[in-house]
Chain A
């Protein structure tokens, strides 16, 4: 009986969770006139016109491509730099290791708005404004510390005897790392990639400031449309729904390991 009540509560919560998303989906399938004309919980006149417009207008769909490009770059760089560092933190004691670990975390504590102007100046100096790599690098600020944090947790779960054995067997360090160690923590790498993807995908402030046209993320394309063309709710909703799709796909792949990623991260 107790368990039942719990399940009921959970189902109710999930329904409430999905309501706002459902409503956006609802709007995205209707024309603007229809949205303003009648209040319908289940839409009567379904249309894919909003989606069609997004997929045929380069100003819209290039936003998605831009976002995916810089998010992928960021995830790759975060993983490549964080892997050796996380290994060092999980295996060695060295001068200032604890301070370094905490310092990495403090980078998540500064208000992002603080970095806007300095970032703009820094990237202007190097001529990187409006490139994908600029956004990817700026997102390293919060993704690298997180990646180190999560990976360190997973690596600490691998017994150190494995390292020692590999050395005795005559493995060189890079070979050991790539052929023995990395496969052992591939779950952790998957989970880390998911988190890097997520935080880079949802961030707007840096992405919008550092881009103008060529690398403009979809989230910024959306805000521009809101202010310019009056409000086309249907189109806006369709664009919103499409921003959820990549995340939902990624999450499907890591769903079974996601929980583990949280549990193993150390404080």
Chain B
């Protein structure tokens, strides 16, 4: 860390600070403002203190959405991270197959999120969907608009299909950055494939995997468009995740106060867990480096 000390560097950061401040700080202040007031109309509002926070924290539907969200994000991390690492390990290292694999893998990432939902509706519908129709022909009743379990399976399949490539690309990038000499040394030592993975590849992937876990946690916790298009939060409330619930309150019922209070709590949860993951992963890394 022998960077040059120079506070004038702030001038270079200033443009970024200004644009992000316009898009983040001003809106967030509005939200904080709403969260402590009761708004009747333009210019008419009453200060209510922490009332909205109390209301939101005791809301049973919110608690359900929160647990659903934790279950969802937990499953996402448990499935996508190992699967992504496995794919990253299996990817060809050079040549046209490598390019082709990269391009194919990145395809789902470049599809607008609501189109992702549309693709999966088309794919899983019991009447016209390849997946839905096939599985029903096999004798398994499958309809994500009627059964909560089927809806969950469909949403998980969609999520894994959509985002595992990101983890795979990150893992692949981490693996590519390992110098060939490491593998040669391992070969000379007669290390097993598992030992190579455990003591060379995994530690070297720590950086990219930290990014992967953080990104996947944040984005899955904030998921909105894909399940909204696919299931609309149903059947019942079975796939109503936190963001869907929030939009229902804010836009559907126009309860700005509770929605704002809810938003702040939501943001703090994401912040807290991201920080915990970050700290935990940093420590895992130092343990393995030795």
- List chain A positions with a Cβ less than 8 A from chain B: 2, 6-7, 9-10, 13-14, 16-21, 23-24, 26-27, 35-36, 39, 41, 77, 80-82, 84-85, 87-89, 91-95, 97, 100, 104, 106-119, 121-122, 137-138, 140-141, 144-145, 148, 198, 201-205, 218-219, 222-223, 226, 233, 236-237, 240, 243-244, 247-248, 250-252, 255-256, 258-263, 265-267
Bitwise interface map of B from 112 to 126 toward A, beta carbon under 8 Å scored 1, else 0: 111100111011000
**Which of B9, B92, B122 is close to A27, meaning CB atoms less than 8 Å apart?**
B122
Q: List 13 A-B contacts (CB under 8 A).
A: A14-B101, A19-B131, A21-B107, A27-B128, A80-B15, A81-B19, A84-B15, A88-B9, A94-B10, A111-B242, A111-B243, A137-B23, A267-B278
Nearest residue (CB) in B for A20 is B123
Q: How many residues in B have their beta carbons less than 8 Å from beta carbons of A?
A: 93
Of B6, B107, B123, which is within 8 A of A244 by CB? B107
| Contact in complex: A204, B112 (CB < 8 Å) | yes
Q: Which listed residue, A13, A97, A113, A265, touches B250 by the CB 8 Å rule?
A: A113
Judge whether A202 and B210 touch: CB under 8 Å.
no
CA distance A244 to B115 in the complex (A): 9
Nearest residue (CB) in A for B29 is: A118
Partner pick for A95 among B7, B101, B105, B130, CB 8 A cutoff: B7
Residues of chain A within 8 A of B87, CB atoms compared: 10, 13
Q: Does B40 contact A (CB under 8 A)?
A: no
User: What is the CA–CA distance of A80 and B15 in the complex, to the nearest angstrom?
Assistant: 9
Question: Secondary structure of the B side of the interface?
Answer: helix
Q: Which 9 A-B pairs have the closest CB atoms?
A: A247-B110, A118-B27, A262-B173, A92-B9, A88-B12, A263-B173, A84-B12, A118-B30, A88-B9
Given contacts A112-B224, A261-B173, is CB(A104)–CB(B118) below 8 Å?
A: no
Of the candidates B28, B128, B131, the one whose C-beta lies within 8 Å of that of A35 is B128
Contact check, A262 vs B127: say whether CB atoms are below 8 A apart. Answer: no
B218 touches A259 (CB 8 A): no
B196 is an interface residue with CB less than 8 A from chain A? no
Q: Determine if B174 is an interface residue (Cβ-Cβ < 8 Å).
A: yes
Known: A91-B3, A237-B122. 16 other contacts (CB 8 A): A21-B107, A23-B119, A27-B122, A39-B128, A93-B1, A93-B6, A112-B222, A114-B263, A119-B27, A137-B22, A203-B113, A204-B225, A219-B112, A240-B115, A248-B103, A251-B107
Residues A17 and B28 in contact in the complex (CB < 8 Å), given A10-B87, A108-B218, A112-B222: no
